[in-house]
Amino acid sequence: MSITGKINNTLNKWMKASGPDPDVVISSRIRLARNLMEVPFPNYASDKEAKRVIDKVESLLEEEDNDFGLKLLDLEKIPVLEKEVMVEKHLISPEHAEPGQHKAMLLTDDESVSIMINEEDHIRSQILFSGLQLEEAWELGDQVDDYLESKLNFAFSEEYGYLTTCPTNAGTGMRASVMVHLPALNLSNQINDVLRAISQLGLAVRGLYGEGTEALGNIYQISNQVTLGPSEEEIIENLQGVIKQIINQERNARKRLMKQNKVELTDRIYRSYGVLKYSRKISSKEAMKLLSDVKLGVDLGIINDVSASIFNELMVLISPPALQRLTGKDLNSSQRDEKRANLIRKRIREK
Amino acid sequence: MLCQECQKREATVHLTKIINNKKKEIYLCDKCAQNKEELNFGKEGFSFNNLLTGLLNSEFGTDTPNSSLNLNYNKKVEEECENCGLNYAEFSRQGKLGCSECYIEFENRINKLLKKIHGNNRHTGKVPKRTGGVIRTRKEIQQLREKMQDAVQKEEFEEAAKLRDAIKELEEEIDE
Ligand SMILES: [Zn+2]
Ligand SMILES: [Zn+2]
């Protein structure tokens, strides 16, 4: 496969920045945890029982009404590098990418639906959409769940809802999360106040890359913490409401920066752009930081000759496993830094 | 009494375990008790789990569980899920349950725990059509049974026969 082929092969929908509110929201995700009634949870299941879970799912797919086009992938047979790329694309968890028996997944061609089999729970369905599309993602997730449930007996109790390995997921089994880019809130030192306010609302916030509040690339993931009690719709409504406020705050912060610190902001953005355009070696940490500035520049209309999706794409493409996969050979970190710089220069010019 | 494990130190911890419905008494010294897997609380695991096990351990009413093993532990330790064999202490350590039956086996404490985690212990969201249907049907059967017994007691045998048929029908529905 050519490099372009491989790159296109690596990109998927959420990276194309085609969804609503793309200036702040990168992606929306719904995850549903389910277990089969008659089998112990994965951590307590025997080899045979774990295999049975996969067999059951497989026989479900063989029926005629597999409208979603889900395909079963045996993760034991997939090369480590491919699995790591899947992690970078948020299709599977890092734990699920680790070697182990009876780990599998279901995936649609466009990768908007991915279902981990035998992770912490027997079944974890995930719907990943571009931009702010929580309701749409839940709608599809609900349908996929109905489809799975039409043939599989899910562990469910009237009182506690869907029964999960960890009681923190019981009830709806649903984790709704939104990935947001908040550079202006960070630049204007408001980010910690905002994050504190969010966590007081019963939502969880984490920097997606890097640790703690020092999020790499100013990317944060905000999700519901409570899964038992409110309905799926209520959880989504609540999260959606908070996200809308965050979008407003970030946009206001951008406006304020443009008004009060226009020269400083523009200077910063162009410097970052310059480095990405001309550097010959760059670490992923630095690249993430600079790409965040460039994305801000694109969203503010300061930079006009770069496509809006470049940030989402490069975030995944410049990760060590993706780079390794693109070049097809083992790279040390110095070689990776070189390849990364080359790739960024090329993608930025391509538009 | 000497510790059953090392046979050296004085036994200070008395454990009662129930395995396959058989009661087993164990006498251990402090040191051996601490080494027992099932008595180790919240030592490892990632942060989110620590948070959960923190909640779990606070239920035991002590801040330093490892150093204060005492008779209060006895009741908790013996509790075990009949279906998968997980005991509650192990759950406290890992934060993960072993099977869906665990929710029933540890009902009282899971109920409280869920309330602590979610501020709530009653699901109001989606109900799966199939398994949810079975739950609904089972409930219905239970109610019909009670009615049938009532009818038998009142010697309303015709009514009881009707109820019996209805129960049978529902039971066949579940079996399918
Ligand atoms: Zn001893
Ligand atoms: Zn169990």
The answer on pLDDT for A252 being more than 60 is yes
CB of A169 closer than 8 Å to CB of A177: no
State residue A9's pLDDT score: 67
- With a pLDDT cut of 70, the percent of chain A lying above it is 94
Residues of A in contact with B125 (CB under 8 A): 161, 171-172, 174, 230-232
Distance A254 CA to ligand 1 centre (A): 66
- pLDDT: is A266 or B92 the higher one? A266
Say yes or no for a CB contact (<8 Å) between B123 and A230: no
Choose the closest CB to B124 out of A44, A174, A231. Answer: A231
State residue A185's pLDDT score: 96
The answer on pLDDT for B89 being more than 90 is no
**Contacts of residue B105, Cβ cutoff 8 Å, sequence gap at least 6:** B79, B80, B81, B82, B83
State residue B93's pLDDT score: 87
State residue A226's pLDDT score: 95
Continuous segment of H or E residues that includes residue A124: strand A123-130
B11-36 pLDDT per residue, tens: 777 666 555 455 566 777 777 776 66
Choose the closest CB to B129 out of A149, A157, A232. Answer: A149
What single DSSP character describes residue B11?
Answer: P
The answer on pLDDT for B40 being more than 60 is no
State residue A85's pLDDT score: 86
Lowest mean pLDDT among A28-32, A192-196, B71-75: B71-75
CB of A54 closer than 8 Å to CB of A104: yes
Alpha-carbon gap, residue A164 to B113, rounded angstroms: 14
Mean pLDDT of chain A: 90
Rounded to the nearest 5 percent, the helix, strand and coil shares of chain B are 55, 10, 35
What single DSSP character describes residue A151?
Answer: T
What ipTM is given for this predicted complex? Answer: 0.85
Say yes or no for a CB contact (<8 Å) between B114 and A167: yes
Alpha-carbon gap, residue A55 to A53, rounded angstroms: 5
A114-134 pLDDT per residue, tens: 999 999 999 999 999 999 999
Of A325, A341, A335, A332, residue with least CA distance to A287: A341
Lowest mean pLDDT among A120-129, A153-162, B57-66, B76-85: B57-66
- pLDDT: is A241 or B10 the higher one? A241
| pTM exceeds 0.90 | no
Q: B52: pLDDT confidence band, cut at 50, 70 and 90?
A: low
Residues of B in contact with A155 (CB under 8 A): 100, 131
Alpha-carbon gap, residue A318 to A217, rounded angstroms: 13
Alpha-carbon gap, residue B8 to B32, rounded angstroms: 10
A6-53 pLDDT per residue, tens: 666 667 766 776 789 999 999 999 999 999 998 999 999 999 999 999
A298-346 pLDDT per residue, tens: 999 999 988 888 888 888 888 888 888 888 778 898 999 999 999 999 9
Residue with tokens 């890992």: B94
- pLDDT: is A111 or A213 the higher one? A111
Alpha-carbon gap, residue A12 to A91, rounded angstroms: 11
**Once rounded to an integer, what is the mean pLDDT over residues A143-159?**
92
State residue A259's pLDDT score: 96
DSSP structure string for A260-306: HSHHHHHHHHHHHHHHHHH-S---HHHHHHHHHHHHHHHHTTS--SS
| Distances in whole angstroms, Cα of residue A198 to Cα of each of A124, A194, A230, B111, B158 | 26, 6, 18, 27, 63
State residue A304's pLDDT score: 92
| Distances in whole angstroms, Cα of residue A312 to Cα of each of A15, A188, B42, B164 | 5, 23, 39, 63
| Distances in whole angstroms, Cα of residue A139 to Cα of each of A90, A126, A249, B121 | 20, 12, 28, 25
Instruction: Give the tokens for residue B21.
Output: 């419905």
Say yes or no for a CB contact (<8 Å) between A171 and B125: yes
Residue with tokens 């908040």: A182
Helix (H, G, I), strand (E, B) or coil at A319: coil
Residues of A in contact with B95 (CB under 8 A): 166-168
Helix (H, G, I), strand (E, B) or coil at A107: strand
Say yes or no for a CB contact (<8 Å) between A160 and B114: yes
A197-214 pLDDT per residue, tens: 998 888 988 887 554 446
Provide the residue type at A76 as one letter.
E
B95-153 pLDDT per residue, tens: 999 999 999 999 989 999 999 999 988 998 998 887 667 766 777 788 899 899 999 99
- Determine the residue among B93, B99, B175 to mutate to test chain A binding: the one whose Cβ has the most chain A Cβ atoms within 10 Å: B99
The answer on pLDDT for A77 being more than 50 is yes
- pLDDT: is A210 or A136 the higher one? A136
State residue A271's pLDDT score: 97
